[in-house]
């Protein structure tokens, strides 16, 4: 009986020892990675868990799609700008449009001048060379004033009369300048014979543009 009692006490002591060892090993097991079923994994320090970033292939496809969308958006606008630029090139600027001789004369501050003052004045070309001298001042049927000068020849031999519209001329002191009729246009100009024109009296006044060089 004593022997059985000793064995029973020994078994009881061993069971208690195992139980204490189990309690002592519990925290060590959890620390090693074991956790009860249903428990969540511990979160890393530093805030919320980061989402998994896109893969390299996904990023490449995204950039290509974005570039295509930007190209589609910019394409029509660029085409419109090119068309607008082309339209601007085809349309002449207001200051480049051809003005009539009357409009040009109006911008040169025309002043009243007596006909007697004009007769005998030299007319100069674009290089300030003498083309001829005013011989007559005439009026066409439509009321247009023309200054008739002698042109060409040598010492009066071979010269002829040419009618120059007053709108292309301007006073330059005691001279007249052919502003909008270069010398190259005088040679093919028709000879004036006086038919159909009316002479303007010396006492009459006409308007002539003025200029300075």
Distance between alpha carbon 63 and the CA centroid of its chain, in Å?
32
**83 located within any domain:** no
C-alpha–C-alpha distance, residues 133 and 124, integer Å: 9
Instruction: Look at the chain and report how many structural domains it folds into.
Output: 1
Angle at 164 between CA 162 and CA 168, to 5 degrees: 155
Q: Please, which pLDDT band fits residue 57 given cuts at 50, 70 and 90?
A: very low
In this predicted model, what pLDDT tens digit does every residue of 105-149 receive, in sequence order? 999 999 999 999 999 999 999 999 999 999 999 999 778 999 999
Tell me, what CATH number does 136's domain have? 2.30.30.240
Lowest mean pLDDT among 23-27, 63-67, 73-77: 23-27
C-alpha–C-alpha distance, residues 170 and 209, integer Å: 5
How far is residue 176 from each of residues 114, 116, 194, measured CA to CA in Å?
14, 14, 21
DSSP of 83-131? HHHHHHHHSPPGGGSPPPHHHHHHTT--EEEEHHHHTT-EEE-TTS-EE
Q: Name the nearest CA neighbour of 192 among 145, 148, 130, 158.
A: 148
Structure tokens at 168: 């292309």
**85 located within any domain:** no
**170 located within any domain:** yes
**129 located within any domain:** yes
Q: Please, which pLDDT band fits residue 98 given cuts at 50, 70 and 90?
A: confident
Domain extent at residue 166: 103-210
pTM for this structure? Answer: 0.55
pLDDT cut 70: percent of the chain above it = 54
């Amino acid at each position: 009986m004593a022997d059985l009692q000793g064995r029973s006490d020994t078994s009881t002591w061993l069971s208690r020892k195992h139980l204490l060892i189990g309690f002592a090993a519990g925290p060590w097991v959890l620390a090693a990675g074991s956790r009860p079923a249903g428990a969540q994994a511990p979160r890393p320090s530093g805030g919320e868990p980061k989402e998994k970033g896109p893969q390299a292939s996904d990023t490449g496809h995204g950039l290509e799609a974005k570039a295509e969308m930007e190209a589609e958006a910019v394409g029509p606008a660029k085409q419109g700008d090119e068309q607008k630029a082309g339209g601007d090139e085809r349309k002449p600027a207001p200051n480049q449009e051809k003005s009539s001789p009357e409009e040009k004369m109006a911008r040169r501050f025309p002043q009243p001048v007596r006909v007697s003052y004009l007769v005998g004045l030299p007319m100069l070309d674009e290089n300030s060379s003498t083309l001829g001298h005013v011989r007559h001042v005439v009026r066409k049927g439509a009321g247009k004033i023309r200054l008739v000068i002698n042109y060409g020849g040598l010492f009066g031999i071979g010269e002829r009369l040419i009618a120059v519209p007053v709108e292309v001329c301007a006073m330059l002191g005691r001279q007249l300048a052919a502003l909008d009729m270069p010398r190259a246009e005088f040679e093919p100009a028709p000879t004036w014979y006086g038919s159909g024109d009316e002479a303007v009296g010396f006492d009459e006044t006409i308007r002539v543009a003025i200029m300075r060089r």
